[in-house]
Structure 1
Amino acid sequence: MEKRREAAEVRPYKTFEEAAEQWLSYWKPTRTESRVKQVAAYLQSDIYPVIGRRALADLPSSVFRDMVKKIEARGAPTVAKLVLQVCNQVMRYSIAHDWVQRNPVAELRASDLMVIPKTKNHARVGEADLPALLHAIDNYSGEEQTRLAFKMMALTFVRTAELIESTWAEFDLDAARWTIPADRMKMATAHVVPLSWQAVLTLRRLQVLTAGGDFVFPGRDSHKRPMSRATLLMALRVLGYRGRMTVHGFRGIASTTLHEQNWPHEHIELQLAHQSRGAVSAAYNHAQYLPQREAMMQAWADYLDAQRARYAPPI
């Protein structure tokens, strides 16, 4: 009986809302403002009214199941999926802080509960139009930081958030290496991006522009937050590529072209961070095929330069 009292003192009573607010404070400093607002809105409008006041230990899987099914029933399956993801992160955070013993959301999969709409392929130009796109980016008349963000996206073909939320602490320019930490990766394991000499030069210029700030691509209004996705989307519209190209489209261009150039599939997939990696093998796999990927990334940068040289103004 005495041990139970001690355990109760170590693990204070927490409602889901109390836990979620503490998780949100921990999570949001490294996320974009738009993403933070989106998650906060889900919490306030979809989650707290249903389970906010309930004790963490009093939340079976069925409560989360019924909540997301109700959201799906109103015609918002994508929101339902994201709500489930947020709840999962809150419960994992709660386990880490000894507020609860198990995560009931871990027993649920969105695909088992609802029909998730298929995502559309991201719009992207073909190889024939790549020289014109690169020329347009190089001659972008807006902020230099935005132009260099596009250049880095083309050179590294990482995910948009992985690029714009990057910090200088992740880079070793002398070693030409960018290591994205696990907590910023979709697969939740660290990811190494070999940097071509063109990428290193671009980053050296960005160091001058950011003047010692933490973020490689700081926001316009505050250097304490990263650049907004909207900045890049607006720039694509200005360049005349609305509906023809997305920021994410650089990943598709790189994947298609590198496969056509007969680079090994496993090297490309690893560089795209598509491979699912378990916790046991994560430390090994995040740097797997690194010499080969270094050669591939340099060859890719050289290919982009060659495409720039092919540009011919329209008659």
Structure 2
Amino acid sequence: MGKLTDMQIKAWIKAGERFEGRGDGDGLWLRYRENDKTPVWRYRYKFAGKPRTMQIGTYAELSLAKAREAVKTLAARVALGHDVAGEKQESKAAALAKIEDEKNAITMLALANEYYERMILSRWKHPDIVRRRIDKDIGPHLGKMKVEDVKPRHVDDMLQAIVKRGAPSIANDTLRWTRRMFDYAIKRHMIEHNPASAFDVNDAGGKEEARDRWLTRDELAKLLAAMKEAKGFSRENDLSIRLLLLLCVRKMELCAARWEEFDFDDAVWRLPGERTKTGAPIDIPLPILAIEWLQELRQLSEPSSWVLPARKMQHRMLPHIHEGTIGTALGKLKPHMPGVPAFTVHDLRRTARTHLADLGIDPVVAERCLNHKIKGVEGIYNRHDYFNERCDALNKWAAMLGALDKGEAYNVTPITKAKKKRA
């Protein structure tokens, strides 16, 4: 049989004529078996004295002319000592392996989520702190990358982006958690080296200086007025900030509070130890003003068992508001407080502590209002919780906030001690 022609091939296809192989010369063969949808081009050659065959495509993919060109290229490679069929098999195996690797690859976001669920969620008092770093920083910057593909330069890019937005302390926190996540990955045989191990705080946000920002009486009055005037500033956020100021509690102690913790009859918030930074439970006296604000929040939160239930599309793993919600809301007040330097949610506790001192509250009582441990020998031997003294202190503080809220002057004078005693 001489050279093949396109007319012949098309006639065989039309007639449904099947065959094992018909040659065109130079090692090019055409096969058309019963289970072949279209004729298949094959290249036959010898390598190291042994016959070899490889498929180079179908007639639908390669015309007769293109098949001849392909064979010429393959023959030239064979002449140079290449086993083209073997190379094709190796290439195919490598491609399949790569697909399988991609399918089973662990992304940085998957690693972060696994670390959070296994090492943080059930072990830490405030897991949402880590959750926020994953959602806002680690996920957006590194989340889509495979864990083994993350290099030091990627970690550095993430840290510098955080620093550029003016959050050096967050850059430090993000570095700490990222480094721990990679250490966890090493233990789980996901990677062999930690790409964040060479970094320290000098590569992130630098040494953190203690903040000293607190709000003066005038600034507090402007804050209370701004929360009423700011368009779109929810009443829930307003009440949350007021309660944080008045009760001197930490942000997450309020964000994750349940209604079952509050006893309005005895005017006390029984904060359990598993939700305090110190690990010890504390009974927080509730001034009448705090009870009024809490009762308003209760109406707004019904039928939830949480004082501040999650809103709309917040993270599904948290049934209460995210720890960043109040801070974000606070930022919306800046245009309504011209001339007032920036401050954060954490500065509210410093503000409360400063004004408690200004109101003449004993330092030990003021420290216990913030649920700080008493330092030194006294802290070891003095187990008194100063409940009644804290009640007096918070009532005095509530009177001041109430006056500022109404735009009235408030003189630092002793008030009548609360008659209500701890049950």
Q: Indicate the TM-score class for this superposition, using the shorter chain for normalisation.
A: 0.5 to 0.7
1:253 to 342, 351, 356: 351
- Structure 1 counterpart of 2:182, one-letter code: P
- Structure 1 counterpart of 2:243, one-letter code: M
More helix by share: 1
* Structure whose alpha-carbon radius of gyration is higher: 2
Contact kept, 8 Å, 2:270 with 2:282, in 1: the verdict is yes
- Structure 2 counterpart of 1:309, one-letter code: K
Q: CA deviation at 1:74?
A: 6.3
Contact kept, 8 Å, 2:125 with 2:275, in 1: the verdict is no
Detail structure 1 runs of 4+ shifted over 6 Å in the superposition. 17-20, 66-69
The answer on 1:290 being equivalent to 2:387 is yes
Q: CA deviation at 1:47?
A: 2.5
The equivalent of 2:333 in structure 1 is: 236
Q: Indicate how the Cα distance of structure 1 residues 29 and 268 shifts in structure 2: closer, same or farther if over 3 A, else same.
A: closer
The equivalent of 2:370 in structure 1 is: 272
Q: Which moved more, 1:126-135 or 1:209-218?
A: 126-135
The answer on 1:133 being equivalent to 2:230 is no
Q: CA deviation at 1:209?
A: 0.5
1:182 to 261, 273, 279: 273
- Structure 2 counterpart of 1:180, one-letter code: L
Deviations 1:218-260 (A, max 9, x none): 2322582324244333333353367433222222222222212
The answer on 1:226 being equivalent to 2:354 is no
The answer on 1:72 being equivalent to 2:203 is no
- Structure 2 counterpart of 1:47, one-letter code: R
Aligned length: 244
Tell me, in whole angstroms, the C-alpha distance in 2 between the residues paired with 1:290 and 1:45.
Answer: 41
Contact kept, 8 Å, 1:125 with 1:244, in 2: the verdict is no
Tell me, in whole angstroms, the C-alpha distance in 2 between the residues paired with 1:134 and 1:18.
Answer: 42
1:38 to 133, 144, 147: 133
What secondary structure is seen at the aligned counterpart in 2 of 1:294?
Answer: helix
Tell me, in whole angstroms, the C-alpha distance in 2 between the residues paired with 1:299 and 1:132.
Answer: 20
2:118 to 6, 9, 22: 22
Tell me, in whole angstroms, the C-alpha distance in 2 between the residues paired with 1:259 and 1:73.
Answer: 34
Tell me, in whole angstroms, the C-alpha distance in 1 between the residues paired with 2:118 and 2:124.
Answer: 10
The answer on 1:263 being equivalent to 2:361 is yes
Q: Indicate how the Cα distance of structure 1 residues 231 and 45 shifts in structure 2: closer, same or farther if over 3 A, else same.
A: closer
- Structure 2 counterpart of 1:171, one-letter code: F
Q: CA deviation at 1:170?
A: 1.9
The equivalent of 1:61 in structure 2 is: none
The equivalent of 1:52 in structure 2 is: 185
Q: CA deviation at 1:171?
A: 1.4
- Structure 2 counterpart of 1:267, one-letter code: V
Tell me, in whole angstroms, the C-alpha distance in 1 between the residues paired with 2:235 and 2:122.
Answer: 32
- Structure 2 counterpart of 1:295, one-letter code: D
Question: What value does the CA root-mean-square deviation take over the aligned residues?
Answer: 3.7
What secondary structure is seen at the aligned counterpart in 1 of 2:240?
Answer: helix
Contact kept, 8 Å, 2:230 with 2:333, in 1: the verdict is no
| TM alignment of 1:132-211, pairs within 5 A | 132-141=222-231, 142-211=233-302
What secondary structure is seen at the aligned counterpart in 2 of 1:26?
Answer: coil
Q: Indicate how the Cα distance of structure 1 residues 167 and 235 shifts in structure 2: closer, same or farther if over 3 A, else same.
A: farther
What secondary structure is seen at the aligned counterpart in 2 of 1:70?
Answer: coil
Deviations 1:138-181 (A, max 9, x none): 44442111111122122212122222222222211221111222
Contact kept, 8 Å, 2:116 with 2:130, in 1: the verdict is no
The answer on 1:307 being equivalent to 2:390 is no
Q: Structure 1: where are the runs of 5+ without partners?
A: 1-16, 56-65, 79-115
Q: TM-score, normalised by structure 2?
A: 0.49
Tell me, in whole angstroms, the C-alpha distance in 1 between the residues paired with 2:244 and 2:116.
Answer: 33
What secondary structure is seen at the aligned counterpart in 2 of 1:135?
Answer: helix
Q: TM-score, normalised by structure 1?
A: 0.64
Tell me, in whole angstroms, the C-alpha distance in 2 between the residues paired with 1:24 and 1:252.
Answer: 28
Q: Indicate how the Cα distance of structure 1 residues 252 and 259 shifts in structure 2: closer, same or farther if over 3 A, else same.
A: same
More strand by share: 2
Tell me, in whole angstroms, the C-alpha distance in 2 between the residues paired with 1:222 and 1:240.
Answer: 29
Q: Which moved more, 1:199-208 or 1:146-155?
A: 146-155
Q: Which moved more, 1:131-140 or 1:261-270?
A: 131-140
Greater relative contact order, per chain length (Cα 8 Å cut-off, separation 6+): 1
Percent identity of equivalent pairs: 22
What secondary structure is seen at the aligned counterpart in 1 of 2:284?
Answer: strand
- Structure 2 counterpart of 1:135, one-letter code: A
